[in-house]
Amino acid sequence: MGTAERKIIDVLEGKTVTPPPIWLMRQAGRYLPEYRQVRATAKGFLDLCYTPDLAVEVTLQPIRRFGFDAAILFSDILVIPDAMNRNVRFKEGEGPLLNPINVDGIEKLVMPDVKTYLAPVLETVGRLRRELPQETTLLGFCGAPWTIATYMIAGHGTPDQAPARLFAARHPKTFEKLLCLVAEASAAYLVAQIDAGADAVQIFDSWAGVLGEGDFENYAAKPVKRIIDMVRAERPDAKIIAFAKGAGYNLKTYRQTTGADAIGLDWTVPLDFAAELQKDGAVQGNLDPLKMISGGDDLEAAIDRILDKLGNGPLIFNLGHGITPEADPANVEKLIARVRSHGAGR
């Protein structure tokens, strides 16, 4: 079937590849002992992201161990607000913290010099493309404007993103300005990653699921379309995956609205609905990350259900969200083996 790099690009072009290519969100992370060793040498999480020697190493670790079909740049979605001088930091046990932004702060925001501020990340991308096996796809990424805005307004993660939802209702024009600026910076960042060597990119909208229908269209789908349009204006052949976690039925028109080549599916998306979405193009997902802890028959049955329903169309096999620190690496090996046996003998 050609190289793994071509396999994923083929899927993103709407072709069916058997067995489907596989990678896992957060595949470089705390479930791997080798990652924990490197993480202990860094001054902090952002230091790990901004130190190419370390970021390259942890990105390569799951490729060496498991031979995934794609490596995804080790970084964080909050590097964009960090480039906007929002004082991003990560506190152990609390997650990301930022200086909360208000109306006045948004009015004073200016487009950051992404290439300069995030030069270490772009160096990591270039080194990864040189050091990765040629057959391994290199994925870059960014956060979606809605998700980035939720952190910028609240200053931290919240269960339902009420601070951002209320801000958007009370200050719609200012909120729109924030979304537009984040989209513009994110598009520049993705173009720079592609130019540095990324074969494809993913846009993560981790908090899309808290939005109702109208707000989803305005705050999630249209800003992602803005990013994709700006990227394609400069790099017409760019391959882009859009992942709106928790979007549910709102995914029905998400691909058409955004122009994404593939849409990521979280584990709550029913497989019959996923098969309907797949008629319009590639899908990515959508194994429950907890199956990587439970293992055994539970894991195998869940893998088979996805392959039986989606394996005969354009599919990139993945989890429905990031792998958790409690995941058993042995279960990852079983997952890869079972996916790669799909279609054997057909």
Known catalytic residues are 26, 30, 39, 76, 151
Asked if 209 and 268 count as a contact pair (C-beta separation under 8 A), the reply is: no
Which amino acid belongs to residue 286?
N
The answer for residues whose C-beta is within 8 angstroms of residue 8's C-beta and 6 or more apart is: 21, 69, 70, 137, 199, 200, 316
DSSP symbol at 280: T
Distances (CA, A) of 181 to 31, 111, 123, 203, 335: 35, 7, 24, 16, 40
DSSP symbol at 298: H
What is the Cα–Cα distance from 133 to 137, expressed in whole angstroms?
Answer: 9
Secondary structure element (H or E) that encloses residue 54, with its range: helix 52-66
* Other residues' Cβ atoms within 10 Å of the Cβ of residue 127: 18
The tokens describing 148, both together, are 């980035």
What is the Cα–Cα distance from 54 to 46, expressed in whole angstroms?
Answer: 11
Distances (CA, A) of 165 to 62, 88, 161, 194, 280: 37, 21, 6, 32, 31
Q: Choose among 56, 64, 67: nearest CA to 21.
A: 67
Region of residue 197 (left: phi > 0; alpha: psi -120 to 50; beta: else): left
3-state secondary structure of 226: helix
What is the Cα–Cα distance from 339 to 335, expressed in whole angstroms?
Answer: 6
